[in-house]
Structure 1
């Protein structure tokens, strides 16, 4: 379980990234966070694995306040939290297999990974992860030989190889065309259900938020302005989250 307790974050330049956030995310949920650019969505997600550090409050993960973590505790936290990025975060000149098996880095240590001293079990896990997102035929290709959608599937396979308890995805489909974006979201939802991995995704696409989310959190100016089941969300809800009419916004049609 993840719980934000009175979480605020003020950046060194004085910008308020988060303001008095109180949110509890339960095991196995698929949560989509929506809001305009600059609303605090990425800051919210990146707080959970301490890529950014809130300045006030408590952030509880599995019963522990992770804001007190550093060193070994922080590495342990990041081992159980997988992260998928908008720009894929792959080593472009390395093979697909090398990128995917890097998901075991937190379990094997840096030295063993440098010399590719992964166990047969780890190699098998990486291959199975590639199969789960239907890209095992690209195992020997370099990452920069793949399309954007294929690269994002490789990054999902890397997270699967990590065997995390939590999965964070920061705008994972914003640079993909609509059919490819839908395919990537389908994989994320499938993994969430099959592995019971708590999944938190930032999205710009309203239609995808409605299709895939169990729960939608709306943010504006660093605050949570809506939190509820996706089944209760209407067009009016999105207008309240965004603070404007959405019919004029091309996000409704799945374009960004």
Structure 2
């Protein structure tokens, strides 16, 4: 369980990235966070693995306030909370398999991983996870030879190989076309279900949020303005979240 208790984040210039956030995120939920650019979506999910650090309140993960963590505890937290980035965050010159094995870094250690000294069970785990996202045949290709959708599926395989309990996905389909976006989101949702992972995904597109989320959290100007089941969300809800009428650009469009 993840709990935000009166969490705020004020930057040195005085700008408030988060304002008095109170949320409870239960084990196994697939949550989509929506809002305009600058609404605080990335700040919210990156606070869960302390890539950003709130300045007020308590942020509890499994009952412990992670805002009080030292470096050792932070490393353990980041092993437990895996991250998927918009730009894939792969090492282009390395093989797909080596990129996925990077998910074992928190378990294997830096020196052993740099030398490629991964236990055979880790290699099998990485290959199995590539198979789960349908690209095991790409295991020995350089990462930069893959399409954007394939690279993002490598990112999913890598984060699952990390064996986290939480996945944080920061605009994972923002750089992809509509059909590929659906493939990536379906893989992410399926694997989250299969492994009972708590997953938070930042999205801009409202149709995708409604299609894949169990629960939608809406942010505007760093504040939670909606929190409820996806099947209760209407176009009016999104207009309230965005603070304006819905535009065509807010809809992803397309399908497989």
Please indicate the TM-score interval, normalised by the length of the shorter structure: over 0.9
1:70-113 deviation line (CA, Å, top 9, x unaligned):
21100000001110000000001110011000100000111111
- Are the counterparts in 2 of residues 219 and 241 from structure 1 also a CA contact under 8 Å? yes
Compute the displacement of 1:249 (Å).
Answer: 3.6
Correspondence for 2:201: 201
SS in 1 for 2:50: coil
SS at match of 1:113: helix
Match of 1:252 in 2: 251
Q: In 2, distance between residues paired with 1:73 and 1:254? A: 42
Confirm or deny that 1:17 pairs with 2:22: no
- Report if aligned partners of 1:84, 1:170 keep a CA contact under 8 Å in 2: yes
Q: How does 1:1-256 map to 2 (within 5 A)?
A: 1-246=1-246, 248-254=247-253
1: CA distance, partners of 2:249 / 2:162? 36
Q: Secondary structure, in 3 states, of the residue corresponding to 1:107?
A: helix
C-alpha distance in 2 between matches for 1:254 and 1:92:
30
SS state at 1:124 partner: helix
Residue aligned with 2:209, SS: helix
For structure 1, the residue ranges without an aligned partner over 5 or more in a row are none
4+ residue runs over 3 A deviation: none
TM-score by length of 2: 0.98
Please tell me whether the aligned partners of residues 208 and 252 of structure 2 are also in contact (alpha carbons under 8 angstroms): no
Deviation at 1:254, TM superposition (A): 3.2
Report the 3-state secondary structure (helix = DSSP H, G, I; strand = E; otherwise coil) of the residue aligned with 2:14: coil
What CA distance in whole angstroms lies between the structure 1 residues aligned with 2:128 and 2:97? 11
Deviations, residues 133-156 of structure 1 (Å, cap 9, x unaligned): 000011111111111000000000
Q: CA deviation at 1:253?
A: 4.6
CA distance 1:253–1:117, shift in 2 (3 Å): closer
Retained in 1: the 8 A contact 2:214–2:230? yes
Q: 8 Å contact 1:206–1:254 — kept in the other structure? A: no
Once residues 59 and 182 of structure 1 are traced to their aligned partners in structure 2, the CA distance between those partners, rounded to angstroms, is: 32
8 Å CA contact 2:206–2:250 kept in 1: the answer is yes
Using the TM superposition, give the Cα deviation of residue 244 of structure 1 relative to its aligned residue in structure 2, in angstroms: 0.6
> Matched residue of 1:180: which SS?
helix
The Cα RMSD (Å) is 0.9
How many residues end up aligned between the 2 structures? 254
Q: Which runs of 5+ in 2 are unaligned?
A: none
SS at structure 2 position matched to 1:217: strand
> Given the two structures, how large is their TM-score scaled by the length of structure 1?
0.98
The answer on whether the counterparts of 1:9 and 1:16 sit within 8 Å (CA) in structure 2 is yes
Judging changes above 3 Å, is the alpha-carbon distance between structure 1 residues 175 and 231 closer, same or farther for their aligned structure 2 residues?
same
In the TM superposition, what is the alpha-carbon distance from 1:252 to its structure 2 partner?
Answer: 2.3
CA distance in 1, matches of 2:253, 2:57: 36
Cα separation, 1, equivalents of 2:188 and 2:13:
35
